[in-house]
Amino acid sequence: MCPTLPAPVPESETDLLARIRVHGAVPRHIAIIMDGNGRWARERHMPRPFGHRSGMKAVRAVVEGCLDAGVEWLSLFAFSQENWQRPETEVSALMSLLEEYIAREASELREQGVRVRVHGDLGRLSAPAAAAVERVMRDTEGGDKLGLNLFISYGGRAELVRAARLLAIDVQAGRLTVDGIDEAAFRERLFTAGCPDPDLLIRTSGEQRLSNFLLWQVAYAELYISSVLWPDFGRLALFEAILDFQRRDRRFGRVTA
Ligand code: FPP
């Protein structure tokens, strides 16, 4: 009879972080489609905003995980253009959470060296939400450890149309020629101008879709689908995703030597 092997001891966050550091190749930019708040709340027989509130705590854990792992940029899809079509109670709960997140976290983010940028159709935000967004961007401007991009009222196709319009305006004004429209010129007119493309795109809750997020920027991102619902996605799950990324063979259309 075979002796029973002891069950493997699950690795701790510290162990995973040590392995990430030994490997060294940390993704510079991680983008996340935070999904599953509603299902997380439903499993607990709670209303959907309860899931969003718990999702806000996961945002803190992941920001701290990125700081520890040495990730330079983190992009979070917090509210899509389509999300405006959700019931009014859920939309207003999400907007209040955004204000609360900024009120609670802005000073700590600044102390931790996190520079927050908020991107999307911000003209649709309520006056208090828009003021909070302005404030957090201004207060954290000097952060040099982690760039945190929050995408709110955002759609990838709308971002591409906006970039095309900006190019057309520059051509019309004589600042740019049609021949001068190349990938670099296009990239400069995206919300993420000056920020490297995501190396790793994570989506939680097991869904396998891009959902109109960063359509241009994720062209060569490694995709990582986690079955974990967003409110449960903390440092451990983030580190597992980074370790998975470190095992990938990124070829960018070329062949491995
Ligand atoms: C998707 O889950 C999540 C959202 C639409 C909102 C994300 C918001 C947060 C994580 C909290 C606020 C964050 C900040 C930065 C203030 P879903 O509602 O579509 O979940 P479901 O697919 O299970 O229904």
Check 37, 68, 83, 144 and give the catalytic one.
83
Q: How many domains does the chain have?
A: 1
Reported confidence tier of residue 120, pLDDT bands at 50, 70, 90:
very high
* CATH code for the domain of 72: 3.40.1180.10
Q: Examine the pLDDT at 252 and tell me if it is beyond 60.
A: yes
Question: What per-residue confidence (pLDDT) applies to 1?
Answer: 56
Q: Examine the pLDDT at 230 and tell me if it is beyond 80.
A: yes
- Residue at 4 is within a domain: no
- Residue at 175 is within a domain: yes
Is 35 an annotated catalytic residue?
Answer: yes
Q: Is the CB of 98 under 6 A from ligand 1?
A: yes
Question: What per-residue confidence (pLDDT) applies to 249?
Answer: 83
Please say whether the beta carbons of 37 and 52 come within 8 A: yes
Mean pLDDT computed over 62-86: 97
- Residue at 146 is within a domain: yes
Give the distance (Å) from ligand 1 centre to CA of residue 204.
10
pTM comes to: 0.94
pLDDT, tens only, 131-141? 999 999 999 99
Give the distance (Å) from ligand 1 centre to CA of residue 233.
12
Residue 112 lies in domain? 33-245
Question: What per-residue confidence (pLDDT) applies to 256?
Answer: 67
- Residue at 13 is within a domain: no
Is 249 an annotated catalytic residue?
Answer: no
- Residue at 179 is within a domain: yes
Q: Determine the straight-line distance between the first and last CA of the chain, rounded to whole angstroms.
A: 47
- Choose which residue among 230, 232, 233 to substitute to test ligand 1 binding: the one with the highest number of ligand atoms within 8 A of its C-beta: 230
Structure tokens belonging to residue 248: 């990938």
- Residue at 22 is within a domain: no
Tell me which H or E stretch contains 93. Answer: helix 88-111
Question: What per-residue confidence (pLDDT) applies to 250?
Answer: 77
CA distance 162 to 121: 10
